[in-house]
Structure 1
Amino acid sequence: MPFKSRSNIGADLLLAEKLIQLGARPPIVSQLCHLTRKQSIAFFKAVKGQSPKQGMLPHDYQWVIRSAFNNIHASLFLSIIEDIRHRLSTPNLNATLLVAAYEIYSNVASRILPNRQCIQPLSSQYYPLDINRAWYLIGLLSAGDLVFIFCGRCHARYLGMIHPEVAFSQCPICDVWTDRSGRRRWVSAKSKMLTLNKPNAR
């Protein structure tokens, strides 16, 4: 596999391998590790022993607000990214930053945010936020489509959305109710009435 001759190619390949192991797809590896599209696909096959998944990368800009569970995971990951950026004064995303932030997120998520349906909680494929969607959300945060909001009740830092078609700022901890199946849903006028009508509601 011919690579361009440069001094940091070894470091780029090590980061590319780590990204692929975490589940990153070739377009992301190519962008962050200075590889061509063909090189990133070939390297993916070498690392994984199989061809990469076909199709578009995650691009649902409303994913963060589709459920409180999604919002908690996205808020955790992007908080980690922002804290690392602030401490290291690195405004731009690079492979090292993405790998470090996602590894911290995976470790924390497996310990304090377990999904009851997870069979293998240490595997990133069982998190609602995989590394490809995490990369996409970083772009939304950088563009200002996502903003951090502090809840005055529980003091959590969570993500709100600023977009011409939707303005959303509900706390994923306080502004939710639990339905009969145990799922946490965003509070709405209807859900508030259902909560008030529950026999044991407080």
Structure 2
Amino acid sequence: MNFKSRPNIGADLLLAERLIQLGARPPIARQLCQLTQKQSIDFFKAIQGQSPKQGMLPHDHQWAIRSAVNNIHAALFLSMVEDIRQRLCIPKSNATLLVAAYEIYSTVASRILTNPQALQSHSKQQWPLDINRAWYLISLLSAGNLIFMLCERCHARYLGMSHPDAAFSQCPICDVWTDRSGRRRWVSAKSKKLALNKPIAR
């Protein structure tokens, strides 16, 4: 679609600019801001000063349950998405929702959930959830693949996921233990599935 034939092109370009500044790749800016492939790539180059990274966007549907840290960050971000969506009565995911939720998440993550040792490295981002994966998590939540659960012990809201054999449900706060080396461990989806499928000795 030509820019001149669109009534809200100014707002769309501002949102596309902010998405790219936050790290979004051209396919996301193209989808959410109604740009063509060439427009989104050219816009990315103009803002970032370099060509976009090649390859597929994040599509690991089990990322949020691969570790307790992933779950905490994903639950924090998606909680903000749901709160903003309900307050502003937004029916579906759009660029405004993604930008608003991710900016709030980034602020909280950088001040509260960042590893103190990582701060000393002065790298650009110290948390595991970038905006590209955040965009994919919204689609998983909207499709019902990710679901919010409430821990009966600590009352924290975390993310669970339905599997073919059983629902994976582990609190990333209560169901974490420390091994002999002092590392914090969490029961993974794979290990829990194996335990559920293990035959009972009689």
TM, length-normalised to structure 1: 0.86
Structure 1 counterpart of 2:48, which letter?
K
Kindly tell me: are residues 181 and 20 of structure 1, through their superposed partners in 2, closer, same or farther at Cα, counting changes over 3 Å? farther
Deviations 1:12-70 (CA, angstroms, capped at 9, x unpaired): 11110100000000000000001011110010000011000000000011111110000
Name the counterpart of 1:200.
none
Partner of 2:48: 48
Cα distance in 2, alignment partners of residues 27 and 138 from structure 1: 15
Does the 8 Å CA contact 1:18/1:99 hold for their aligned counterparts?
Answer: yes
- C-alpha contact 2:110 2:126 (8 A) present in aligned 1: no
Query: How big is the shift at 1:152?
Result: 0.9
Note the residue ranges of structure 2 that are not aligned, 5 or more in a row. Answer: 192-202
SS at match of 2:171: coil
1:109 corresponding residue in structure 2: 109
Amino acid in structure 1 at the alignment position of 2:118: Q
Q: CA deviation digits over 1:147-187, x for unaligned, max 9?
A: 00001111100000013266311000000012355442214
Q: What one-letter code is carried by the residue in structure 2 that aligns with 1:113?
A: L
Q: Contact 2:113–2:127 (CA<8 Å) still a contact in 1? A: no
**Contact 1:150/1:158 (<8 A) preserved:** yes
What letter corresponds to residue 111 of structure 1 in structure 2? R
Query: CA separation of 1:165/1:7 partners in 2, compared to 1, >3 Å: closer, same or farther?
Result: same
**Structure-2 residue corresponding to 1:38:** 38
Amino acid at match of 1:140: L
- Structure 1: unaligned runs, 5 residues or longer: 192-202
- Contact 1:153 1:174 (C-alpha < 8 Å) held by counterparts: yes
Q: Does 1:8 align with 2:28?
A: no
Distance 2:182 2:8 in 1: 50
Compared with structure 1, are the counterparts of its residues 87 and 108 closer, same or farther at alpha carbon in structure 2 (3 Å cutoff)? same
- 1:161 maps to 161
In structure 1, the partner of 2:200 is none
User: 1:137-148, aligned counterparts within 5 Å?
Assistant: 137-148=137-148
Shifted more, 156-165 versus 79-88: the winner is 156-165
CA deviation after TM superposition for structure 1 residue 87, in Å:
1.0
Contact 1:146 1:162 in 2 (8 A): yes
CA distance in 1, matches of 2:83, 2:146: 16
The equivalent of 1:68 in structure 2 is 68
In structure 2, relative to structure 1, the CA distance for the partners of 1:172 and 1:10 (3 Å cut) is same
Amino acid at match of 1:13: L
Question: 1:124-144 CA deviation, whole Å, 9 max, x = no partner?
Answer: x43200000000011110111
CA RMSD across the alignment: 1.9
Secondary structure (helix, strand or coil) at the match of 1:117 reads helix
Report the alpha carbon displacement of residue 6 of structure 1 after superposing the two structures with TM.
1.6
Instruction: Indicate the residue corresponding to 1:79 in structure 2.
Output: 79
Q: Is the alpha carbon distance of 1:158 and 1:45 closer, same or farther for their aligned partners in structure 2, counting shifts above 3 Å?
A: same
**In percent, how many aligned pairs have the same letter?**
78
TM-score (norm 2): 0.86
Distance 1:59 1:156 in 2: 26
